[in-house]
Structure 1
Amino acid sequence: MASTATIHLVRHGEVYNPDKVLYGRLDGFGLSELGRQMAEGIAEHFAQRADNGHPLHLLASSPLQRAQETIAPLAAALQLPVIEEERVLEAENAFEGLSNVKHRLRRPRYWPLLLNPFRPTWGEPYKQQVERMLAAVKDLADRAIAEHGDGAEAVVVSHQLPIWVTRLWAEQQPLWHDPRQRECSLTSVTSLHIGPTGVESLSYTEPNRHLSDQALALPGA
């Protein structure tokens, strides 16, 4: 019988960003105090799952500071190393480093970046994001199964847009979307259930809903 695995894609916690910069892949954007509470909440969530018969076997994270800080309490609680996974990095964005992006979009100099929202022309193509995310998920699932057997589970801390477009792909939905409609709150868990044919189903949970409701709507998350 073919083996299975579950890869939990966790979005990082709230970032300290008082100037509301679209930070994208920039260095130096760590978690806020609320974000650190979210990271502790995620650690507790997976510790409870382990107590209920669903232990984690591998941990991986985007190299960005906010992702590394989100996974740190979980790694400490489980005493597991964290694999740094470049392929689950935040999407590239031409507006990275800017604040008040909506206002800036009124300027003609930025209009060429908005020509094709289906691709999108202002950043990394959605298809490319999905491809790199799926490659990372497959490798982690294969490794988890090889090292820990059928039913192995792993957590990967990533970023909203790459997680969301991967979910759209898994649900056979168009990758183009309204960003306001993303169901991927801070420290939410999008679980990909991997079988012989690849991603066979997914589930979504918000362990920190009570905290994410308090979070600021920040760009570049």
Structure 2
Amino acid sequence: MMTKVSLVRHGLVENPGQVYYGRLPGFGLAPLGQAQAAAAGDYLKDGAVDAIYHSPMLRARQTAEIIRSRCGQTTPLAECDLLNEILSAYDGQSVAEMERRDWDFYHEVSLPYEQPEDVLARIVAFFDLARHKHPGRHVVGVSHADPIAFAIMWANQLPLSADQRKQLIVCGVPDSYPAPASISTFSFAATAERALLEFCYHAPSVPGTGPNDD
């Protein structure tokens, strides 16, 4: 038996002010993001999902709720801090400023802000939680782009590097970075030890979908 953990990036966010919202409250899904979440749910609904976890961010909770509406309203839904967005010094900065910085969250910052290894440690801890609570089952975790990107690098045994997180085409990610509502599935042996057997990536097709930077 295998334990499957599907990390889903939240759908596109309503962001009229064009800011990097990070962990700021109140940023929910745009209409296109809702459609992306529904497409992810339609892809997952035949996978016998045992539980759905989501980050504390509104956009992640909304994505999880839409996925559950497709997978069955009795599927347990729970918030999990391990899936949260990165803790960054740049929340509230303009998109223009972040583009000027090439979306660099990690250089020249110190505690309490996270580095890639801190983010990855949280996601690996979520993998362990899912394996221990749902052995041999399929679990969904709705998270954010960088946490998922670092998990993909880990699964493919790539050196952990912030500079390389948007160059994941070698890992089977066609856009080189997790797309909104994309599904990254990690299959583990249903044993006490953490043994990754397989990784696969899927981005459901929704008309008008394009990459965004969170």
Q: Under TM normalisation by the shorter chain, which class is it?
A: 0.7 to 0.9
Q: Deviations over 1:168-193 (max 9, x none)?
A: 11211011134542431111111011
Deviation at 1:4, TM superposition (A): 2.5
- Identify which of structures 1 and 2 has the higher relative contact order when contacts are C-alpha pairs closer than 8 Å and 6+ apart: 1
The one of 78, 90, 96 equivalent to 1:95 is 90
Deviation track 1:45-103 (CA, whole Å, cap 9, x = no partner) reads 112xx2xxx31111111010000111112223312221110011011111111102247
2:105 maps to 1:124: no
Per the normalisation by structure 1, the TM-score is: 0.80
Match of 2:52 in 1: 59
Q: Give the residue type in structure 1 aligned to 2:23.
A: R
Q: 1:16 to 1:126 in 2, by over 3 A?
A: same
SS of alignment partner, residue 210 of structure 1: coil
Distance (whole Å) between structure 2 residues aligned to residue 61 and residue 128 of structure 1: 18
After TM superposition, the structure 1 stretch with the greater mean CA deviation from structure 2, 173-182 or 67-76, is 173-182
Q: Secondary structure at the match of 2:15?
A: coil
What secondary structure does 2:179 align onto?
coil
Name the structure 2 match of 1:111.
none
CA distance in 2, matches of 1:46, 1:218: 23
After superposition, the CA RMSD in angstroms is 2.2
Structure 1 moving runs of 4+ over 2 Å: 102-105, 119-123, 177-183, 208-211
Determine whether 1:188 maps to 2:182: yes
Q: How many residues align?
A: 195
- Which position in structure 2 is the counterpart of 1:109? none
Contact 2:50 2:76 in 1 (8 A): no
Spell out the pairing of 1:47-196 with structure 2 (5 A cutoff).
Answer: 47=45, 50=46, 54-77=47-70, 78-79=72-73, 80-99=75-94, 100-102=96-98, 105=101, 120-122=107-109, 123-145=113-135, 151-176=136-161, 177-181=163-167, 182-195=176-189, 196=191
**Quick check: 2:55–2:61 contact (8 Å CA) kept in 1?**
yes
Indicate the percent of aligned positions where both proteins have the same amino acid.
26
User: 1-side partners of 2:209 and 2:76: how far apart?
Assistant: 31
SS of equivalent residue, structure 2 residue 49: coil
5+ long unaligned stretches in structure 1? 106-113, 146-150
Structure that is richer in helix per residue: 1
Moved more, 176-185 or 124-133: 176-185
Task: Indicate if the aligned counterparts of 1:16 and 1:31 stay in contact, CA closer than 8 A.
Answer: yes
Q: Quick one: distance in 2 between partners of 1:30 and 1:86?
A: 18
Give 2:14's aligned amino acid: Y
- Mapped to 2, the partners of 1:92 and 1:83 lie a distance apart of 21
Q: Distance in 2 between matches of 1:38 and 1:102?
A: 25
Instruction: State the one-letter code of the partner of 1:39.
Output: A
Larger Rg: 1 or 2? 1
Q: 1:121 Cα shift?
A: 3.6
Distance in 2, Cα, partners of 1:159 & 1:103: 18
SS at match of 1:44: helix
